[in-house]
Homo-oligomer: A and B are copies of this chain.
Amino acid sequence: MVGTTAARRVSVRDQVVAEATRLFAASGFGATPLQDIADAVGISKPAVLHHFPSKEHIRLGVMEAIFAHWREQLPRLLLSATESHARFDSVFGEVYRFFAANPDRARFVAREVLDRPAQARAMLGTIVPMLRGIAGYIRAGLGEKADDVDPDAYVIHIMQLVISASTMADVTSVMLGDGAEGRARYDRELARIAKASLFGRRGARARETASPPSKKSAKPRRRRA
């Protein structure tokens, strides 16, 4: 019948994880029936449970996939430019794009933090060393005189900001407008806050190279709606 083992490029298991990620992100773990996942993949419900012992294991699979992906992507940050402003743009852009590229990831993580704080803590723990690495670069880049900045806390807050931005953008657009321009203002201000709080308004403005993590068109003008 329909393409069996040979024609199967992506394993059914991976499809389950992918669809579950999307559905969990949209409706939440508890509100997503196993049947919906099965339907999305195109198999029966017991077939899903053939690949995972339980629904709970699907959730773990989704979470592990996200963090594994992130653990794989994050090290690229550590190879970024050496000049502090350029490095900042690079690092911020990487983090931003990781979540913005697929809001499902941000939504899922946000839900896990709410629903299962203890497990979310454990998962976050697996990337703490890398976050500390980023914080270390910030500390080194700013030098001794920046004793008002707390790099560890800063990294945490910016990660939060990016996650919540990816999560809430569709809701907060009621204030800035739903169009592309509203979203552009939103993204630009997010990048500005992240940068200006580190280098100061002057420093951030002086090098406005990568304020909005390269959307399509960066409109430098700003208007009231």
Complex contacts, A14 vs chain B, CB 8 Å: none
Complex contacts, A13 vs chain B, CB 8 Å: none
Of the listed stretches A4-12, A73-81, A166-174, name the one at the interface; the rest are far from the partner chain: A166-174
Q: How many copies altogether? A: 2
For the complex, count residues of A whose C-beta is within 8 A of B. Answer: 63
Which of the residues B128, B150, B222 comes within 8 Å of A188, measured between beta carbons? B150
Sample of 12 further A-B pairs with CB below 8 A, known A107-B114, A132-B175, A156-B175: A28-B28, A28-B30, A117-B170, A121-B174, A124-B171, A125-B174, A128-B174, A148-B201, A153-B186, A160-B165, A196-B196, A197-B197
A-B pairs, top 6 by smallest CB distance, nearest first, are A153-B189, A200-B201, A164-B164, A193-B197, A197-B197, A200-B200
Residues of A within 8 A of B (CB): 27-28, 30-31, 107, 110-111, 113-115, 117, 120-121, 124-125, 128, 131-132, 146-150, 152-157, 160-161, 163-165, 167-168, 170-176, 185-186, 188-190, 192-194, 196-205, 208, 222
